[in-house]
Structure 1
Amino acid sequence: MSRVASALAAVLMTVASIPFVAPGTAAAVGLDLTCTPPSSASLLFDPPATNSPQTMALSVSRQYGPCVSATRPDITSGHSSATGTSQGATCLSLLGANAITIPITWNTGETSTLSGNNVSSLSGLALTVVTTGTVTSGVFAGATFVHTIIYPSTNILLCNLGLGTLSALYGQVVLEIITP
């Protein structure tokens, strides 16, 4: 057998030994916890966001559930909330990327701290916020996560165009925690 044929045979045997994974399922291999809608989030602005820079108080509340976990079937729901102040914020401040920490208290009383980076984008009449990172403490520590919120609202577009204000956003959440 020639060298080329031997090399080709070795490559084909290596490829044949790789387990087949259907497209779209690779991320689910280590999926440990999933929380899906009606999981929800609310984001409140005081005063309402405008197209002019101002100081605003922000309040976010997230409800997770139903949740399903492969390793922790007792965890079925959770919640998270935070408040803060933003200086010089506008409606356009909702877009872009930043670091974020999400503390979650589960229905068992245990907690998880998710630390990562989010990217917010506007598509049509919906603001999509995707956060990825690592569970840095508590239940699922060391795992990675994907946290997605979709906030549909005509007020987002109007506010960005300077044609209105934005006092609140309400959306649906999907949380996936993937163990190593």
Structure 2
Amino acid sequence: MRKYRSHVFAACFLLASALVAVLAAVPASAAASSTICTGSSHATYNPGLTLTPQTVSVTETDVYSSCTSTDPTLTSGSLSLAAFTIPDAACNDLSAGGSGALTVNWNNGQSSTATLTYELTVTGGILQTVGTGTITAGQFTGATAVFTWVYPIVNPLLCLTPGGLTTHDGIITAVITGV
């Protein structure tokens, strides 16, 4: 019986050693990643928003000034959205949903392209757009992504100025998890 126990102990020890060796060989990149970033967003409207609905071209620059990531080299990032149009946009109606891609350029020289579906809501004087989807290229490919833009509702009096409202500033967050 004693000989049987020593064989079982030896087999368990070898199995545990093999498991430790396999786990040690898994690259760090295979571990689940997460990145949370916050920053500011600046949108420019052309022509400026007024109270009359019109097709408006929008350009946007976002700066993620603070990031916490499982990648210690990633501490900030930025993205610029080339001109896109919003039909029938007005100061009191910026409804823009749909889907599209954006690319964040990280401070570590990497980038992440996300394909997102956007939903816009207006609640309690806050305009919020949430884009949910997946990182489809670059760093974190395959991860889940949630990008959120929060802007204060525009004061309608600003829309009565000559040229209308031409810029809008807000805050942004990006949450990337998984892989």
TM-score (norm 1): 0.71
Partner of 1:168: 167
Q: Tell me if the contact between 1:57 and 1:83 (Cα under 8 Å) persists in the aligned partners.
A: no
Shift of 1:102: 1.3
Q: Classify 1:58/1:107 alpha carbon distance in 2 versus 1 (closer, same or farther; 3 Å).
A: same
Q: Structure 2 unaligned runs (5+)?
A: 1-31
Partner of 1:34: 36
Partner of 2:109: 109
1:147 is aligned to 2:143? no
Q: Tell me if the contact between 2:33 and 2:140 (Cα under 8 Å) persists in the aligned partners.
A: no
Shift of 1:167: 1.8
Residue identity matched to 1:169: H
Q: Tell me if the contact between 2:58 and 2:86 (Cα under 8 Å) persists in the aligned partners.
A: no
Query: What is the RMSD computed on CA atoms of the aligned residues?
Result: 2.2
Shift of 1:96: 4.7
Partner of 1:135: 135
Partner of 2:51: 51
Partner Cα distance (2:37, 2:113) in 1: 16
Residue identity matched to 1:135: I
Partner of 2:67: 67
Partner of 1:83: 82
Which whole-Å deviations, capped at 9, do the CAs of 1:55-82 have from their partners, x for residues lacking one? 4321100001210111x11000000002
Aligned residues: 144
Deviating more after overlay: 91-100 vs 138-147 = 91-100
Q: Classify 1:139/1:64 alpha carbon distance in 2 versus 1 (closer, same or farther; 3 Å).
A: same
Shift of 1:52: 2.7
Which whole-Å deviations, capped at 9, do the CAs of 1:34-58 have from their partners, x for residues lacking one? 012xx01111101112233434321
Partner Cα distance (2:79, 2:54) in 1: 26
Q: Structure 1 unaligned runs (5+)?
A: 1-29
Partner Cα distance (2:168, 2:33) in 1: 29
Identical-pair percentage: 30
Partner Cα distance (1:135, 1:68) in 2: 17
Partner Cα distance (1:81, 1:131) in 2: 15
Partner Cα distance (2:151, 2:86) in 1: 22
Partner Cα distance (1:145, 1:136) in 2: 10
The structure having more radius of gyration, on CA atoms, is: 2
